[in-house]
Structure 1
Amino acid sequence: MNDKQKTNLGSNAPGHPGISPTWTSSAKDVVTTSLGSSRIWVTLGYGIGNEVYWPSTGHPQIRDLGFIIAGPNGWTEVKRARRYLISTPEPHVPLPQIVHEGDDYRLELEFLPHPQRDTLLVHYNLVGEGLQLYCLLAPHLDGDRANTAWADGDLTAQRDAASICLRSDCGFLRTSVGYAGESDGWQDFSQNGAMTWTYGCATDGNVALTGELASASGTLALSFSQTLEGARTLARSSLADDYDDVRNRFVDQWVQWGKTLVIPYASPEMKHVAEISATVIKVHEDRTYAGAVVASLSVPWGSSHDDPGGYHLVWTRDTVEAALAMIVVGQIEDAKKTLAYLIGTQSENGGWAQNYYPDGRGYWSGSQLDEVALPVILAAKLRAVGSLTNSIPTENMVRKAIAYIVRMGPMSDQDRWEENAGASPFTLALTVCALVASADYFNADERAYLLSLADCWNERIEDWTYTTSGEYCADRDIGGYYVRMSPRPMQGGINGSIDVRNVAHGEIAATGLLGLEFLYLVRTGLRKADDKRIVDTVRLVDEILRVETPNGPSFHRYNGDGYGEHADGSPFDGQGIGRLWPLLTGERGHYAVAAGEDARPYLAAMAKMTGPGGLIPEQVWDSEPLPDRGLMPGKPSGSAMPLVWAHGEFLKLLACITTERPTELLDDVDTRYGGTIPEAEVWHWRETSPFQSVPKGRGINIEATEPFILHHSLDDWHHKDDSKSAPGPFGMHILALTKDQLAEFDELKFTFFYPDRDAWRQKDFAIQLGRG
């Protein structure tokens, strides 16, 4: 030990507070957890441990756990070398085994989440002459940049009620703790070519720990607890357990679970991806809050920022998409747990938070109608497969959700990409389906109202989302096309503009934005695959949004999307260029099945657009190769990986190819519509979803969420009437005008008086009768 080492021994590290912390890259190799009582979830990327989540899927606690190898030829940090192979015993057994191999070393790693303790065991074996192995641990406890850490035999850190301990069964020859970017172990090697610092403590900062392992082969235990004493106890206990016994228990639990999978008929290659997909979804389920499935155990572009939320949150949409996928592979109980969980997280108003931690605490505050409709559809699907009996909690959930949709629909505060308010074909399809599928939960009057509202909204989908005068009609042989979405009517509706997010150029005409949302009209049975409007729009999105990659076709969310890396490959930073989404490849594949096309190329493309461990990302790169940034065409970008929704889409497409029936297609909806646009007997007019004309022979319901008196005339105000609304179902107030009352007239003019507020609506409205 030299004089510098002696001076540093046990002292506080310099460089407080360290550089600004970030998470790690979202380019994961494997995600894993045990099926026991342990409450840790482990992610791996670039061949090392990345974020470890504890005590729930919503709480990452470390940035990474990596290794440096030093020897006669210098030193190597293995994650930067990127020379490794990764494997698991079976696709449905997420026990990652990694081999890093350089010119003069071979490092074998196995990452084993302990089934019974909150501990990650890492078995390591280093082969090579004159080599020494070092571990590097970067705490990020409770997602906070201010941690305190100690190097005192074990490597420990603490932040409030979160503590970790890293212990080796062979002990450490030396340990040190420092501030990231200033006095951490990597800086020591970078500046000195060896481990020369042995600082004992670093307080209240972005800290990093280093340990020189006493043996080339052994086991590390990284344990999590509310207290340092608890973490140390768990680490010691875990190392006292026989490693082979723990390993066998872990493997056996996953093997037994794998036997319950019912994979639709597939080639061996597709079956392999399907088993990985089902496993990924299973891994993302929380332990304490059974049925809670976070969107991804990752932070998109995490190595560039310190987002406390990331994708390790529950989105009701992603969770239901995963549950529907689990149904098609025989995991009915998992889907039922998700439904029960969603019953538990529903708000009193009937909706759900935009996204939330597994315990139900909301994160963002937006409202999305598709996220209210989907739990109802999940309940209907479980009933359809004979696995759900009516219960008071389920009935209450459905009733509250439907009441929310009735009051707030059909316009949504946010579309499925969480960017804009208005009418989206995706959201409209799901809300109509939810209304129809839930009708038998209600009494006769409520049921009749729901079905009438569903028919009206279904018939009006084209009014809101289909253009015959958009810019793409002029130079193409098409009569019109579906748009990505249209703004609310008071913002111009389909003739208005969309504020395109994440880009600098601002607004664009709604008719200039294309997306694949309209495909759900076919998938849910509201429109036929050979409807010319559908066919023309498919041709259009294939031309404008589709990109042929070396791994097959994929699609942009919409033209002009800014959610993705910049042109030079630098990370998304609030602006960027949207890349290709494999889940949209799956959506296009579903349409291919409905249209009688061969959907297998779409399934194969999804299977090839994966990372080293078979994980499907949120986005794949769509430009020229940038090897220095790890960006290759048709392969994962820096966005979230894995994306649970994408894995669910793969499983559902695989099943759809076999059954020729989408998972989301419900018998009640198919029977009522069969892909044909209905002629609703009554059109429901609301100021949030008005219409200027109505086809001949229809009744009109004038509706509001509060009592009103309708001041109206059918002869251009020559005769005036004041009619009082009546309380209707779901808290609505309705004035019904029958088709017979309207039959002899050309126009209805009206305005409102609200007696509860003693206020007039200072605006006149008009509806042309029999001209739609």
Structure 2
Amino acid sequence: MNAFGQPGISPTWASSDKDLVGTALGTSRVWFTLGHGILNEVFWPSTGEPQTRDLGFIVAREGAWYEVKRVRRYTLSTPAPEIPLPQVVHQGEGYTLELEFLADPARDVVLVRYRLEGEGFRLYPLLAPHLSSSGLSNTAWVEGPGVYAQQDGATLCLLAEPGFERASAGFVGFSDGWQDFQRNGAMTWGFTRAEGGNVALMGELRAPEGVLALGFSHTPAGAHTLARSSLAEGFSSLRARYLEGWRRWADQLQIEGESLELTRQARTSAMVLKVHEDTTYPGAVVASLSTPWGSIHDDPGGYHLVWPRDAVEAGLALLAAGQTTDARRMLSYLIATQQPDGSWPQNFYPDGRLYWRGIQLDEVALPVLMAARLAEAGALPERAEVRTMVRRALGFIAQNGPYSPQDRWEENAGVNPYTLGVQVAALVVGAAFLDEPDRSYACSLADDWNARIEEWTYVEGTPLDRQYGVQGHYVRLHPPGETSLRGRVLVQNRRGESVAVEELISLDFLYLVRLGLRSPHDPRIRDTLRLVEAMLRVETPSGPFYHRYNHDGYGEHHDGRPFDGVGVGRAWPLLSGERGHYALLAGEDPFPYLWAMAHTASLGGLLPEQVWDTAPIPERGLFPGRPTGSAMPLVWAHAEYLKLFLATQRGRPSEWLEAVAQRYPTPRPPEVLHWRGDAPYPAIPQGKTLLIEGAQPFTLRLGFDGWQGVQELKAAELGLGRYGVRLGPELWQNHRLLQFTRHFPGGWEGRDYAVERSENDGRP
């Protein structure tokens, strides 16, 4: 009998308010998430493909029924912080429901052991398929001992041991099992099929104790075979193998500390990072096995995509924790997904297919830092492949930097201290992988850009500076095309609002210290930090947190409504981690920031993307210092926590690389000034060489002081695909003004440039 109500209500994902995530360390290709004490999204056959919304439970007896995720009275425990084997105990009016979740190490099956206690109560699993990453056009049916769903070649089968008494398929919001209980107070429907919509399945379990097996395959027969095989092998046997795999991995962890609570959270964070690594595509690490504000939409992307930045953060953290093999595998994956031009896309599915196509130059530079960190540890994979990757990545940076098409928050083009600092560090550490002339050019360009960080991102004498009694500050962003720091920045998620460059503050500048490019005691750093503490810091019962920047719009509305394209940016725990790294390097106490991050954790130790930072709204589950509806867990937050924890033990950040520290122990004025069309020098100090660059061969026509003494010079290859003409200080004798233009293969560029000679010697 077909269910009524096709196609059902609009589908959504489960809440991003997760309890725990898990997977098996074997050949299995399923990843499970828990939220509100039940199974949420299950991913198969890769971390980028969620196949369910949730699998929950109704407990019922005559005259009473309860959906346990709505009751929300439960505890959660695991055998150890680094082992994702959750046991959940729900307590209700006259009943106790115990659940234990794991993935079969050898099969694409999630198992749930259940035991219900309570006189007269029966147990009813409710399964909401979202196959092929969508709740649209699913078909569900009841057949034999199991229930099934299918869409576009993805199929699931749910079996029970000792079995279902009966089962039903329906459309969500009309004929699903929850609606049956809501309308009739019991399970009364027995529909055998719901075709083409947002569907749900429900069954009445034959016994109060047993095991559920949720299998995934491309065919109904395959899903049934896998689920039945897991049940045949037995939960206890699979549980032992699951534990063995995780314990063997955990034996390699180098995570110890004085505080048991902080250490426990560090070991949990390492586990979370490991869970997010793919098995179908080893080394792929998605940003989160969740969808921010997922309970209001059916976005197929969510955060279950690979961002190279987040992946490198995870790799650096696991490498610092002793998991060298994991980090090497992650670097190999990044090598495989590098684009022919040397870049990486903004994000992509674990198989390498592009999702968003933006470019962020920090995501191009960070894999180079990871390769250098592995080299320092003596643990690089095939060096020839790494050399090729590094040269291509640095070539892309050399051709396209210093202005990034997107900043690390994916919102604006321009130069900011974080992205620029990461590019400089990558050029320095990547030079060791290069041959001449690429090596010398990379170092020379790094010296030039490092010396110009303040020119591009530091402003003095603004109203903000006067208000807070400082000389100047680093800005969040210098937009492209602006010749000064007095332009405006369009703020995303704020309905077209723009803000003056000098008014936009962020924590991005702290990475200059973390990378070893600036001293933690540099007055410019200290002055900007003073503004950050006044404008972006928020105190909560969990501890201090920070906003990404003032005027941020990525977060819940003032009244707590979910982010829907506009909103109010909330505080980010990972930024407390960045502040803690600075505290460590500046000789301050980093532990308040570490504790703040730990205090945001879920029952299972998951860290959120954002926390609520204003008055509580209990009806929406929003409390100061606790997770919002943003992504949880966030891989980046767990990596930041783990790295800060380990840095407090070892005295320096994971991003602190010897080559950078040795090159910039003190400010280093560049010997060669790299002139580019988008990064020109209006004037140069005496005694410096001016290098006029281009992305392709050109002829330089130049003259002095009104185009006197015109001459033409051919550009030479510089390295990393760049061309240029070097003009030494001897050419400036008796001249004040250089004028020039360039002839490229396509003709004259149609513009004249001028550079003055200044009287100073160029020292900062």
The interval holding the TM-score normalised by the smaller chain is over 0.9
Deviates more, 1:218-227 or 1:735-744: 735-744
1:743 CA drift (Å): 4.7
Pick closer, same or farther for the CA change 1:416–1:111 going to 2, 3 Å.
same
2:585 to 584, 588, 594: 594
Find the counterpart in structure 2 of residue 33 from structure 1. 23
Q: Following the alignment from structure 1 to structure 2, what is the Cα–Cα distance between the partners of residues 552 and 541?
A: 16
Find the counterpart in structure 1 of residue 466 from structure 2. 474
User: 1:158-190: CA deviations, max 9, x gaps?
Assistant: 112110000111221221111111111111111
Query: Are 1:291 and 1:341, in contact at CA under 8 Å, matched by a contact in 2?
Result: yes
Find the counterpart in structure 2 of residue 662 from structure 1. 653
1:18 to 5, 8, 28: 8
Q: Following the alignment from structure 2 to structure 1, what is the Cα–Cα distance between the partners of residues 357 and 129?
A: 29
Q: Following the alignment from structure 2 to structure 1, what is the Cα–Cα distance between the partners of residues 688 and 487?
A: 28
1:52 to 31, 42, 46: 42
Find the counterpart in structure 2 of residue 232 from structure 1. 224
User: 1:732-753: CA deviations, max 9, x gaps?
Assistant: 1201111222253322222233
What amino acid does structure 2 have at the position aligned with 1:530?
H
Query: Are 2:306 and 2:348, in contact at CA under 8 Å, matched by a contact in 1?
Result: yes
User: 1:689-720: CA deviations, max 9, x gaps?
Assistant: 22322233211111111222323322123443
Query: Are 2:490 and 2:496, in contact at CA under 8 Å, matched by a contact in 1?
Result: no
User: 1:489-541: CA deviations, max 9, x gaps?
Assistant: x1455222111001125211111111111001000000000000001111110
Pick closer, same or farther for the CA change 1:471–1:264 going to 2, 3 Å.
farther
Pick closer, same or farther for the CA change 1:744–1:553 going to 2, 3 Å.
farther
1:451 CA drift (Å): 1.0
Q: Following the alignment from structure 1 to structure 2, what is the Cα–Cα distance between the partners of residues 522 and 732?
A: 29
Query: Are 2:63 and 2:185, in contact at CA under 8 Å, matched by a contact in 1?
Result: no
Report whether the alignment pairs 1:626 with 2:626. Answer: no
Report whether the alignment pairs 1:768 with 2:756. Answer: yes
1:764 CA drift (Å): 2.7
Find the counterpart in structure 2 of residue 7 from structure 1. none
Find the counterpart in structure 2 of residue 585 from structure 1. 576
Q: Following the alignment from structure 1 to structure 2, what is the Cα–Cα distance between the partners of residues 469 and 114?
A: 62
Query: Are 1:383 and 1:389, in contact at CA under 8 Å, matched by a contact in 2?
Result: no
Query: Are 1:616 and 1:647, in contact at CA under 8 Å, matched by a contact in 2?
Result: yes
Q: Following the alignment from structure 1 to structure 2, what is the Cα–Cα distance between the partners of residues 319 and 88?
A: 26
Query: Are 1:618 and 1:646, in contact at CA under 8 Å, matched by a contact in 2?
Result: yes
Note the 1:81-120 alignment, pairs <5 A: 81-120=71-110
Query: Are 2:169 and 2:202, in contact at CA under 8 Å, matched by a contact in 1?
Result: yes
Q: Following the alignment from structure 2 to structure 1, what is the Cα–Cα distance between the partners of residues 702 and 614?
A: 59
Q: Following the alignment from structure 2 to structure 1, what is the Cα–Cα distance between the partners of residues 182 and 115?
A: 24
Q: Which runs of 4+ in 1 moved over 4 A?
A: none
What amino acid does structure 2 have at the position aligned with 1:617?
P
What amino acid does structure 2 have at the position aligned with 1:94?
P
Find the counterpart in structure 1 of residue 524 from structure 2. 533
1:202 CA drift (Å): 0.8
Deviates more, 1:467-476 or 1:713-722: 713-722
1:275 CA drift (Å): 0.7
Deviates more, 1:364-373 or 1:704-713: 704-713
Note the 1:248-267 alignment, pairs <5 A: 248-267=240-259
1:711 to 687, 694, 701: 701
**What secondary structure sits across from 1:110 in the alignment?**
strand
Report whether the alignment pairs 1:730 with 2:720. Answer: yes
Q: Following the alignment from structure 1 to structure 2, what is the Cα–Cα distance between the partners of residues 93 and 181?
A: 37
Find the counterpart in structure 2 of residue 184 from structure 1. 176
User: 1:211-259: CA deviations, max 9, x gaps?
Assistant: 1111111111100001000001111111111211111111121122212
1:73 CA drift (Å): 4.7
User: 1:535-558: CA deviations, max 9, x gaps?
Assistant: 111111011100011010010000
Find the counterpart in structure 2 of residue 130 from structure 1. 120
TM-score, scaled relative to structure 2:
0.97
Report whether the alignment pairs 1:146 with 2:137. Answer: yes
Q: Following the alignment from structure 1 to structure 2, what is the Cα–Cα distance between the partners of residues 553 and 565?
A: 19
1:103 CA drift (Å): 2.1
1:769 CA drift (Å): 1.6
Q: Following the alignment from structure 1 to structure 2, what is the Cα–Cα distance between the partners of residues 743 and 448?
A: 27
Report whether the alignment pairs 1:721 with 2:711. Answer: yes
Find the counterpart in structure 1 of residue 664 from structure 2. 673
Query: Are 2:214 and 2:227, in contact at CA under 8 Å, matched by a contact in 1?
Result: yes
User: 1:665-684: CA deviations, max 9, x gaps?
Assistant: 1111100102x332101111
Query: Are 2:328 and 2:381, in contact at CA under 8 Å, matched by a contact in 1?
Result: no
2:272 to 280, 287, 301: 280
* Structure 1 vs Structure 2 CA RMSD: 1.3
Query: Are 1:264 and 1:329, in contact at CA under 8 Å, matched by a contact in 2?
Result: no
TM-score, scaled relative to structure 1:
0.96
2:282 to 277, 284, 290: 290
Find the counterpart in structure 2 of residue 757 from structure 1. 746
2:600 to 594, 602, 609: 609
Query: Are 1:266 and 1:654, in contact at CA under 8 Å, matched by a contact in 2?
Result: no
What amino acid does structure 2 have at the position aligned with 1:602?
Y
2:427 to 427, 430, 435: 435
Q: Following the alignment from structure 2 to structure 1, what is the Cα–Cα distance between the partners of residues 752 and 461?
A: 28
2:61 to 68, 71, 87: 71
Query: Are 1:264 and 1:654, in contact at CA under 8 Å, matched by a contact in 2?
Result: no
State the identity as a percent: 54
Find the counterpart in structure 2 of residue 564 from structure 1. 555
1:208 CA drift (Å): 0.6
Report whether the alignment pairs 1:744 with 2:743. Answer: no
What amino acid does structure 2 have at the position aligned with 1:435?
L
Query: Are 1:424 and 1:485, in contact at CA under 8 Å, matched by a contact in 2?
Result: yes
Find the counterpart in structure 2 of residue 3 from structure 1. none
Structure 1 portions without partners, runs of 5+: 1-10
Note the 1:436-451 alignment, pairs <5 A: 436-451=428-443
Deviates more, 1:714-723 or 1:117-126: 714-723
Q: Following the alignment from structure 2 to structure 1, what is the Cα–Cα distance between the partners of residues 391 and 673?
A: 23
Query: Are 2:428 and 2:442, in contact at CA under 8 Å, matched by a contact in 1?
Result: yes
Pick closer, same or farther for the CA change 1:370–1:493 going to 2, 3 Å.
farther
What amino acid does structure 1 have at the position aligned with 2:479?
P
Query: Are 1:697 and 1:743, in contact at CA under 8 Å, matched by a contact in 2?
Result: no
Q: Following the alignment from structure 1 to structure 2, what is the Cα–Cα distance between the partners of residues 320 and 617?
A: 19
User: 1:462-484: CA deviations, max 9, x gaps?
Assistant: 01110013331122221100011
**What secondary structure sits across from 1:202 in the alignment?**
strand
Q: Following the alignment from structure 1 to structure 2, what is the Cα–Cα distance between the partners of residues 673 and 746?
A: 32
User: 1:280-306: CA deviations, max 9, x gaps?
Assistant: 000000002111111100000000111
Report whether the alignment pairs 1:338 with 2:330. Answer: yes
2:672 to 682, 695, 710: 682
1:264 CA drift (Å): 4.2
Find the counterpart in structure 2 of residue 372 from structure 1. 364
1:389 CA drift (Å): 6.2
Deviates more, 1:596-605 or 1:466-475: 466-475
Pick closer, same or farther for the CA change 1:83–1:431 going to 2, 3 Å.
same
What amino acid does structure 2 have at the position aligned with 1:325?
A
What amino acid does structure 2 have at the position aligned with 1:110?
E
Q: Following the alignment from structure 1 to structure 2, what is the Cα–Cα distance between the partners of residues 446 and 155?
A: 61
Find the counterpart in structure 1 of residue 351 from structure 2. 359
How many residues are paired up? 758
Q: Following the alignment from structure 1 to structure 2, what is the Cα–Cα distance between the partners of residues 699 and 742?
A: 10
Q: Following the alignment from structure 1 to structure 2, what is the Cα–Cα distance between the partners of residues 156 and 128?
A: 29
1:761 CA drift (Å): 2.4
Q: Following the alignment from structure 2 to structure 1, what is the Cα–Cα distance between the partners of residues 61 and 206?
A: 15
1:157 CA drift (Å): 0.5
